[in-house]
Structures are given as C-alpha cells and as structure tokens.
Structure 1
Amino acid sequence: DSIRVGDSLTSADRPVSEPISTPPLAPPTLSCLFGANNGPLVGQEGSIVTSSKIRARLISETDNNVTLTVESCIEDAEKTLVFGRGELQLGILIEQMRREGYEIIISPPAVVTNICPDTGKKTEPYEEVVVDVDAEYSGSVIDSLTGARKGVLVEMMDDASDGKTRLLFEIPSRGLLGFHSDIATVTRGTAVVHHCYLDDREYAGALGSKLERGKLVSCELGKATLFALASIAERGTLFVEPGDMVYPGMIIGEYNKVTGGDLEVNPVRAKATTNIRTVLKEEKAYLPPPKRLTVEELIGYMNDDEIIEVTPKSVRLRKVELDSGARERAARVKKKRLQAQMQKKK
C-alpha cells in the first residue's frame, strides 16, 4: 500500500543515489460532489446505497488513478468532493461505479480556481484544444469556441490533400463544458478533438450567455404512458419512453421554448376508459425515439439546480429540490436577490 505511481524501486544491495524524476501531472480542472441516491426510487436498482461505502470506493480509486483527488465536503458530511481532469474522466469513474452496483447522485461540475500568490487575482485552468475537421465545418467550430466560450484561435492549418483543417485554440476549461456534444452536432460527427491542460491564467470573466431551454419536469410518480407522452412530445424533446419509471421533480425532456422556464407535466396519465363501444377505429399514438444522454453529456448539460441520478440500470436527470412548491419559493428568493444586487450596482 505504500507504493505509488512514480516511485522508484531499487535493489537494497545497490541503492540509487537519485530516483528517476516523475513526469509532472496535469492538475484537476473540474470538481463534482458525489453522494448517495436520495430519490423516491432509491434501492430498487442498486445494491450499494450508503454514503460511507461510496466514499470508501472513491478513496480506493485514488490508489490507481493518480490524477483523481478526493476530499470531504465541508458543507455536507454525507457527500464527497471529487476533482478530475474533465467530463470524460469523471464520466468513466461514474460508469464504473454504476456497473459495480452503486446508486449515486452527482452535482453540477465546478471549475477549480485558485488565487495567484504574486498578484492576488483569481486564476482558472486553460486548455489547448486541437480540432481536425472538414474545411466546410471550420467556420462553425471557430464560432462555437471563440464566442460565448471565451476561446482564442491560435493557429489554423489547411491540408489540401484531404480537405481537412486543423484548428488550434486556447480556452478556459469551463468553456469546454458541453462542447463535445455541440461540436458533434455542428460537424455531423466528423470532427476529431484533442485537448490538454495548458496553464493557469487570470479569470476570464463570465462566459457569454447562451439560449437555454427549459425542462419538462414530471409532477407524478409511476410508469410513463404512451397516451401521456404523445401529448407531451408536442412541447419538446423527450428523454423517456413508455414504461419508464418517473417521479415528481424528475426531468423527462427538454422544453421547446427558449428561456420559457420549466414546464410541469404528467407523464403517467392514462386514457379514460368507458364501457361504450364504437365502430370507429381507435387512434394510435406514435412517438419519436427518446433522446438518451450519456453521463458525460449530462455533466455538461445540467443546470445549477439539477443533479444526475445514476443506478446500475438507469441514468436520470432531476431537480435538486423535488417539491415544486419549494422550487418556486427558491426561484422567487433568487430573483429578489438578483434585483437587490442590480440596485446596489446602480
């Protein structure tokens, strides 16, 4: 247990005066809170549901994964703070744990920031991003990374032989959250992306605002029905299909109205039955296939008031506060606080 990655092992008879230097490791750029599942369906799909066993599993992971750091959460003793090198690394860890039978919840990611000892200013990690893409999509990639994400295009190289373009960017790590799914959409899955830690630089300020769509939030507990989802599908994109278990506060889709807020829906509503027979053929409902998001995609997709619930059989997105009344009260308090801050600035 005392041997770690990077240690030098020598013979006791012929000791080495200087150990082999260890290559420097890139520091963590993202952090997430891991906790035990506290939703209505806890314990139905997984066998390990306690925070102590989850914390022990995360600590044991650091023995082999030297780029992962685990700390206790000061605000909530039932949760564990995990630092990693981006959405992919955290997503792989979560996937491993769900296959082992764990039921966990994961908070929205936070970028690791520091204070420069020389200037006293806030710093954040920057990354170098290399994108190889067809020349016809290069403009869309540049717009995606240099706009609201605060990226800077450093170099652009065209390869006339295969029609590819290599783009080199420098961008804050928080600007890459959700980028992989966006670039897959704008390039139709043809782009090859590589990024690595560059250094810590002065905080770049707030990222540009993006058009956020509201969510379709369930208000009932039960199995989703075809009859209910057929009418809900007209309001947005569904994340569930008939037969999936849902509960109040669970997000079952994306609302199609931009900045329209969340919409509460009843996905378990069944068609009323009567004892009257008719000769008319009963109408059939058809649904498009649901949009299934991976853990990595959800990490970059969820908002601050949402968490991911992961079990061996399901990956769900839900609100932190399941009660709709409590969410409305919290939203009013937040709105008043923002208005007070705006008045102070004036």
Structure 2
Amino acid sequence: MLLLVDAQEGPMPQTKFVLKKSLELGLKPIVVINKIDKPAARPTEVIDEVFDLFVALGAKNDQLDFPIIYANAREGVAKHALKDESSDLTPLFETIEKHVPPAPQRLDVPFRMQPCTLDYDNYIGRMGIGRVYEGKAATGSPVTIKSPDGTARTGRITKILVAEGLRRVEIPEAIAGDMVILSGIPDIDVGETITTDPDADPLPAIAIDPPTVSMTFGVNTSPFAGREGSLLTTRHIRERLEREVETNVGLHVKQVRGKDAYEVSGRGELHLAVLIEAMRREGFELEVSRPQVLMQTVGGERREPIEQVIIDVPEDCSGRIISLLSQRKGEMVQMQSKKGHVRMEFDVPTRGLLGFRGEFIIETRGEGILTHAFMGYAKHKGHMPGRTRGSIISMENGEAMAYSLWKLQERGILFITPQTPVYEGMIIGESSKPDDMNVNPIKNKKLTNVRASGTDEAMKLISVQKMTLEQAIEYVSDDELVEVTPESIRLRKKILKGYERKRSEK
C-alpha cells in the first residue's frame, strides 16, 4: 500500500481516513512524499507529521518503521533520499518489490472472495468486484453467499471478467490473487463472502460509514417544467435512483410517504451533488430540497455527525475563519503558523458545514484550502444560526427587464440578468434584510411621446452572482427548493403563490 502525501500540504483528512483503514487491515504502508518540486515544499517536516499520524492511529512497531520515497510524479521521478539523482521511477518499484510480499496463493482450499465494490450492467445485472482471497472457481460453479449477519443463500457464477486496460475480458476460471468481476448473484453486496464451501468461515466484514445527510428529490413542478429536459416523470427518477443504488453503496433511497418524491441519503452534500449533476447531464429535470443532517438517538440522547476539518489560509484570514466556525459550533483542536500561512484543525458538526464553503471562499479570497472527513457521532451541539438574509422573490411571470433589475440591485444581490425568464415564486436574488421581499422584475420603464431632456440617469447593472449547483444547494432555506434542469439551475419557493405562502405562515 502506497500512502501518497503532498510535500507542502502534509497529511489531510482523507490521508487519515485511508491510513486508518490500512492499519486496521495490518498493512505496512510505503510513504511517498510527492510534489517535492513545489517552492514551499517541506518534506522533512511532513515526514514528522506523517509519523505523528501513524502514532495517533495506533500503528504497531513494524508499521512505524515505514520506508520513504520522495517523488515528483509529474516528471516521473522518484528517489530514496532528497540528495539522490534519479531520472525515473525505478527507486519506487524497487521499494515495492522489497517491502510488499506477494499475496499467498492457496489453491488447495475452497474458493473465497469478498466484493469491495459493485458495478451494474443493463444485460448482466449487478456484479461484485474484488480480490479472490483463496481457492479457485470456474464459470457455472455453485456458490454460497454469506452475509456479515450470519445468514446464507445460494447462487451460481454465470460470468467471470477481468480488466485489461480499459477493456473487460471474460475468463473461464478465477484463482487466488486475481482481481475479478463476478456476475450471476443479483443481490450481491459489499462485504459479503462468496464461497464454494457452505461450511467455510465468512471473511471479516467491511465497515461502511453510514449516511450523514439527506435530500428530497422530486418531479419538477415549476411553470417551466418540461422546457429543457427529456426525463421528467416520477418513474424516470425512481428508475434512475434504483439503478444508482445498485453500485453506490453509500447511497440510501426511500419514497416519501404520500408524495411523488424520494428521500436520498448520502455521505455529505458533495456526494449527493455529484449524483444530481450526473442526472442533470443525462437530461433529467427535478427539484431538490435543502440538505438535512441525519441525527441519531442513543440512550435517549440526541447525537449528530461530527467532521474533522483541516483549513490552510493566509494569516490575515485566520481570525475571521475561527470566528465563523465558532458560530457553527466548531471546536479548534490544533493550530500551526508557518511562512505566512496558518493550518487549523477543527471538529465541526456536519450541519455547521452546510453553506460554509461559499463563505470560506469569499473570506479567504480564494486562497484557502478546506478539507473535511467524517469522524463519528457526538452529543448534539444545540441551536445553530442559519442564513441571516431573506430572498428577493418574483411576483410575476415573464422576462426580467434591465430597468427593474437596475432599481432592485440597491436592495440586495441579484442572481439573474436582463431577459432571463422568471415566474411567480422564483428567487431572483438575496435581500439585504432578514425578511423575504416580493418584487416585480418584469416592469419596464414607462414610455411617453414627450422627448427626454437628456438628463436621464444611465442604467448600470452590477455583475450578478451566478449560482453553481453546489452553491445553490448550500444556499436554500427549508422553505425553498433548487430547480435543476440540463440547462439551468433556479431557486424557488416551495409554495409559489405569494398569498398561499402568507396563509401557510399564519
């Protein structure tokens, strides 16, 4: 196992996550310090940080004695020591050959394999992908599938595939040590043991982190529904989500009772945003809600997911970032200052990170680096302030006019440009005040047959803030939705009519 670490940034949250899993499996990593050509590279200090991380994760003595390789992957160069001369990756390959023992190939025992990931084919169905632990099995072999909970069922291998470059090639037999793709078991899942011996012991289960965030996916119900997409119905959305669950093991889907909508749970808003973007590019139209953090109740105590956050920012931005995360119930664990930059580590509730990335980019002027990873569940941190500004909402259907937007830009930040189609209930900007503001963006300047004096003020529009999908998901409140189509991302109120919103608030 190669542990790749940036020579400037050092260990990141994802480094800790991957290393923890590797150490638990008893692996002995080879540490590769990459990007040693960076001007601000600090390989010696990074090695100390990596060693401290090994110790913090409870590495054994033999795991602490890890070999080190210095690399510049872009140039294809690796070295045993910084002062060495090298022109290729030979030192890395030699280290792998020396320190990574070949996997034992036991062929005289029953076949055992454990899928570590899944794939899906419209003709073959669900397929399990993983390494054959021991034994061998041929196409057509009857097998027993053992779940981590102790239950067992039978099946039959219909196809065995291996990857050759970008192609998949069918082979007649899988033997110990092979990375294979098995089909024929329609309900196979990650962590189950596939064996030819019904009495064989199952392999240790693979732990899968639970979902921490959920969103509601529904049919697009805006007045513009059907204009830009081709996949519009509940059936289309249901089939697409069911297909995604076949391979995306961290995703959970269930139908919302009494509604043509689905609650989709995943490991963070980015996990769900990737799915939404993929569906959008496939031609789907849908509306999605604000992400909701999934809580747990243990022994009568309410608990929420906590994430480890590592931030690298210029020194002059650190105070503001600390203040922002403190407001979001974040607790600082560590802080280091080096060469004009500050690295800070926080433990922050997942709900405190919703909408934080946009503020972070603004406060650091795009110079900061933000990474985070799931840690576990902890006691609920209490109330957390939400968005402090209201929305500017269209109260008419039509095309936005430059004259109206020119007047409205004094009242907040606009999200649309002139000639943008709008509808009643669509959010066209952010108000400078806490309350929502209903406006008429399609009103044009009244024309008369009287010649203008020439002193009319020129209309100058401030550049608008175009929302990306991630920004839109972070921005919306509980009473708002994101309308996603192949060509547009719009924000809207759940209740479009203004008088109906007022009635619901009473």
**TM > 0.5 fold call:** yes
Q: Contact 2:286 / 2:483 at 8 angstroms: preserved in 1?
A: yes
RMSD: 2.1
1:88 aligns with 2:273: no
Name the CA shift for 1:6/1:266 in 2 (closer, same or farther; >3 Å): farther
Moved more, 276-285 or 289-298: 276-285
Match for residue 341 of structure 1?
none
Matched letter for residue 115 of structure 1: T
Q: 2:399 aligns with which of 223, 247, 251?
A: 223
Q: Distance in 1 between matches of 2:131 and 2:329?
A: 39
1:114 aligns with 2:305: no
The Cα offsets for residues 296-333 of structure 1, whole Å up to 9 and x where unpaired, read as: 1122211111011011111011000001011111122x
Matched letter for residue 120 of structure 1: G
1:250 aligns with 2:426: yes
Q: Distance in 2 between matches of 1:321 and 1:278?
A: 42
Name the CA shift for 1:186/1:52 in 2 (closer, same or farther; >3 Å): same
Structure 1 residue 189 displacement after superposition: 1.2
Match for residue 320 of structure 1?
494
Moved more, 98-107 or 274-283: 274-283
Match for residue 127 of structure 2?
3
1:305 aligns with 2:479: yes
Q: Distance in 1 between matches of 2:274 and 2:214?
A: 14
Q: Distance in 1 between matches of 2:398 and 2:268?
A: 35
Name the CA shift for 1:321/1:7 in 2 (closer, same or farther; >3 Å): farther
Secondary structure of the 1:180 match is helix
Structure 1 residue 274 displacement after superposition: 2.8
1:156 aligns with 2:281: no
Percent of residue pairs identical? 39
Structure 1 residue 172 displacement after superposition: 0.9
Matched letter for residue 238 of structure 1: L
The Cα offsets for residues 19-43 of structure 1, whole Å up to 9 and x where unpaired, read as: 6656533221110000010011110
Match for residue 380 of structure 2?
203
Match for residue 287 of structure 2?
105
Q: Matched residue pairs, number?
A: 323
Secondary structure of the 1:12 match is strand
Name the CA shift for 1:66/1:211 in 2 (closer, same or farther; >3 Å): closer
Q: 2:306 aligns with which of 122, 126, 133?
A: 126
Structure 1 residue 192 displacement after superposition: 0.8
Q: Distance in 1 between matches of 2:361 and 2:201?
A: 48
Secondary structure of the 1:128 match is strand
Match for residue 340 of structure 1?
none
Q: Distance in 2 between matches of 1:109 and 1:273?
A: 46
Secondary structure of the 1:139 match is helix
Match for residue 445 of structure 2?
271
Q: Distance in 1 between matches of 2:484 and 2:363?
A: 29
Structure 1 residue 229 displacement after superposition: 0.9
Secondary structure of the 1:271 match is coil
Q: Distance in 1 between matches of 2:303 and 2:274?
A: 27
Q: Distance in 1 between matches of 2:415 and 2:436?
A: 15
Q: 2:370 aligns with which of 174, 190, 193?
A: 193
Q: Distance in 2 between matches of 1:322 and 1:265?
A: 13
Name the CA shift for 1:57/1:226 in 2 (closer, same or farther; >3 Å): same
Which one scores higher on RCO, CA 8 angstroms, separation ≥ 6? Answer: 1
Match for residue 320 of structure 2?
140
Higher CA-based Rg: 2
Q: Distance in 2 between matches of 1:18 and 1:239?
A: 59
Q: Contact 1:108 / 1:306 at 8 angstroms: preserved in 2?
A: yes
Query: TM-score, normalising length from structure 2?
Result: 0.61
Q: Distance in 2 between matches of 1:327 and 1:170?
A: 38
Structure 1 residue 2 displacement after superposition: 4.0
Secondary structure of the 1:267 match is coil
Q: Contact 1:124 / 1:172 at 8 angstroms: preserved in 2?
A: yes
Moved over 4 A (4+): 5-10, 13-23
Secondary structure of the 2:322 match is helix
Q: Contact 2:415 / 2:466 at 8 angstroms: preserved in 1?
A: yes
Structure 1 residue 8 displacement after superposition: 5.3
Q: Contact 2:287 / 2:484 at 8 angstroms: preserved in 1?
A: yes
Match for residue 73 of structure 1?
256
Q: Contact 1:219 / 1:248 at 8 angstroms: preserved in 2?
A: yes
The Cα offsets for residues 104-127 of structure 1, whole Å up to 9 and x where unpaired, read as: 0001111011221xx222211111
Q: Contact 1:31 / 1:111 at 8 angstroms: preserved in 2?
A: yes
Q: Distance in 1 between matches of 2:387 and 2:351?
A: 17
Q: Contact 1:5 / 1:66 at 8 angstroms: preserved in 2?
A: no
Q: Contact 2:126 / 2:246 at 8 angstroms: preserved in 1?
A: no
Q: Distance in 2 between matches of 1:5 and 1:150?
A: 41
Structure 1 residue 184 displacement after superposition: 0.9
Q: Contact 1:114 / 1:122 at 8 angstroms: preserved in 2?
A: yes
Moved more, 283-292 or 41-50: 283-292
Larger strand share, 1 or 2: 2
Q: Contact 2:387 / 2:477 at 8 angstroms: preserved in 1?
A: no
Segments of structure 1 that go 5 or more residues without pairing to the other structure are: 333-346
The Cα offsets for residues 217-264 of structure 1, whole Å up to 9 and x where unpaired, read as: 10110111111111111111110000111000001011112x2x1111
Secondary structure of the 1:213 match is coil
1:27 aligns with 2:210: yes
Q: Contact 1:68 / 1:84 at 8 angstroms: preserved in 2?
A: yes
Query: TM-score, normalising length from structure 1?
Result: 0.87
